[in-house]
Chains A and B, each alone.
Chain A
Amino acid sequence: MSTAVTRRSGGLGWRLALVFALAWAAMVPSGLAQPVSDPAPLQYRDAAEEARFHALTAELRCVQCQNQSLADSNAQIAHDLRREVLALMQQGRSDAQIKQFLVERYGEFVLYRPQLESRTWLLWFGPALLLVAGAGLIAWIVRRRSKALPAAGEPPQEW
């Protein structure tokens, strides 16, 4: 019973949102547009597009709340950027082109996975470099010790 009621009221809310969206669209030319971002949810053409959209926005960083992805953020600008990303997708732009579009405007910062170029080599390979350096250091110490031990026929050191 209660589920039926909820479901019906949900449908009503959806219809109301549609009415508001239409009213909003009608108001735009008069210059009296509702300023807060369009409350209507994003319209995907099919499931594949939706999946692609989610994968893409998860890889983009929200420019305001910087520890969230564009997909997760509820900031106003994130709403606008999601709308823009979907619009660009529907215009037939590739993921790389959409990323380039955002990088041109907001900088490389929007990419969670920075591009591989000479400027970002340290960023990409730094950790591996540290690992190799650490392994080298350990190997050097071990070899040193093993060389020192058999030569010294003395009692073990105090430490």
Chain B
Amino acid sequence: MSEPRSTRSRTPLLVAGILAFVAVVALLLYGVQRSGRADRDSLPSALIGKRAPEFDLPLLHDPSIRVHARDLRGAPYVLNVWGSWCPTCREEHPILSRFALTKRVRVIGYNWKDERADALHWLEQLGNPYLLVLADQDGRTAIDWGIAAAPETFLVDARGVVRWKHSGMLTQELIDEELIPALTQLERAPAGPQLPAAP
């Protein structure tokens, strides 16, 4: 008599158990899939949609000239963080150079915690794709940018708002599928939908 009753009571439990198992397996698969991505450790930038920091840095090639954040407003620019000590930057260099040569946008170098002579030598040896190179030798301004490692690449719009960021090496794929579309989008709507008030 109790046989059908106990079976009935166990069915929802069984269904719940199977559901829980499937959910755990799905979570596991998602984790495994994510772990294969090259940028799995990179953090989303806290700066996206916010104004770029008010930096004031000397030029690598002529430290007597200082560049302020406001000097770069008026047109979008790409800021590429690199150092001569960074092997991935060397690997990224030809890809970035090819993009810079298209003159789609101003490409600005951000030489981070580097020795000036080494940095200049690096550019001489590999070619200088940058319109200008900012030198941040003590790394203090880099903290304002939220830079954690090199290479990192930011896209800043004409009003000085950070619109896109990539941590790690740029690839042709990333340029074609993320950077250029982001650029196109902000060129189409230069003011942007959520622009913070100008200071």
Assess whether B106 is interfacial by the CB under 8 Å rule.
Answer: no
Q: How far is the CA of A38 from the CA of B143 in the complex (A)?
A: 16
Flag A74-104 by CB within 8 Å of B: 1 or 0 each. Answer: 0011001100100000000000000000011
Which chain B residue has the least Cβ–Cβ distance from A77? B148
Per the 8 Å Cβ criterion, residues 97-153 of A in contact with B are: 103-109, 141, 144, 148, 151-152
Contact with B along A44-77 (1 / 0, CB 8 A): 0000000000000000000110100000000011
Q: Does B18 touch A at the CB level, under 8 Å?
A: no
A64 touching B148 by the CB < 8 A rule?
A: yes
Chain A: interface residue total (CB-CB under 8 A)? 30
Q: For B45, give the chain A residue with the smallest CB separation.
A: A107
Closest Cβ neighbor of B9 among chain A residues: A144
Query: Which residues of chain A have C-beta atoms less than 8 A from B47's C-beta?
Result: 105
Interface residues of A in 18-40 (CB under 8 A from B): 31-38
Q: Quick check: which of B30-38, B91-99, B133-141 contacts chain A, the rest being far away?
A: B133-141
Decide: B116 and A32 in contact? CB cutoff 8 A: yes
Chain B residues, CB < 8 A from A36: 113, 115
Q: Is the CB of A104 within 8 A of B41?
A: no
Q: What is the predominant secondary structure among interface residues of chain B facing chain A?
A: loop
Instruction: Give CA–CA (A144, B115) in the complex, Å.
Output: 74
- The answer to whether residues A107 and B44 also contact, given A37-B113, A148-B6, A154-B2 and a CB cut-off of 8 A, is yes
Residue A37 contacts which of B45, B116, B118, B139 (CB distance < 8 angstroms)?
B139
Asked if A103 meets B115 with Cβ closer than 8 Å, knowing A31-B63, A33-B138, A66-B41, the reply is: no
- Whether B43 is near chain A, meaning CB under 8 Å from some CB there, is yes
The 9 closest A-B pairs by CB, nearest first: A31-B63, A107-B46, A63-B148, A105-B146, A152-B2, A35-B115, A80-B139, A64-B148, A33-B137
Interface centre among B45, B46, B114, B144 (most CB of A within 10 A): B46
Q: Which chain A residue has the least Cβ–Cβ distance from B143? A: A84
- Within 8 Å by CB of A63, from B1, B5, B43, B116, lies B43
Query: Considering only CB atoms and an 8 Å cut-off, how many residues of chain B contact the other chain?
Result: 31
Tell me which residues across on chain A come within 8 A of B6, comparing CB atoms.
Answer: 148, 157
Looking at B1, B143, B147, B148, the one whose CB has the most chain A CB atoms below 10 A away is B148
A106 touches B46 (CB 8 A): yes
Assembly CA distance A106 to B148 (angstroms): 8
A107 & B43 in contact (Cβ 8 Å cutoff): yes
A41 to B116, CA, bound (A): 24
Q: Which residues of B contact A63 (CB under 8 A)?
A: 43, 146, 148
A49: min CB distance to chain B, Å = 21
CB pair A103 B46 closer than 8 Å? yes
Q: Which interface residue of B1, B58, B143 has the most chain A CB atoms within 10 A?
A: B143
Task: Look across to chain B and name the residue whose beta carbon is closest to the beta carbon of A35.
Answer: B115
What is the minimal beta-carbon distance from A95 to any residue of chain B, in angstroms?
18
User: B89: CB under 8 A from chain A?
Assistant: no
Do the beta carbons of A35 and B113 come within 8 Å of each other?
A: yes
Contacts of B145 in A (CB 8 A): 105
Least distance between B133 CB and chain A CB atoms (Å): 13
Q: Given contacts A152-B1, A154-B2, are A35 and B137 in contact (CB under 8 A)?
A: yes
Do A81 and B113 touch (CB < 8 A)? no
Could you tell me if B147 and A151 are in contact, using CB atoms closer than 8 angstroms? no
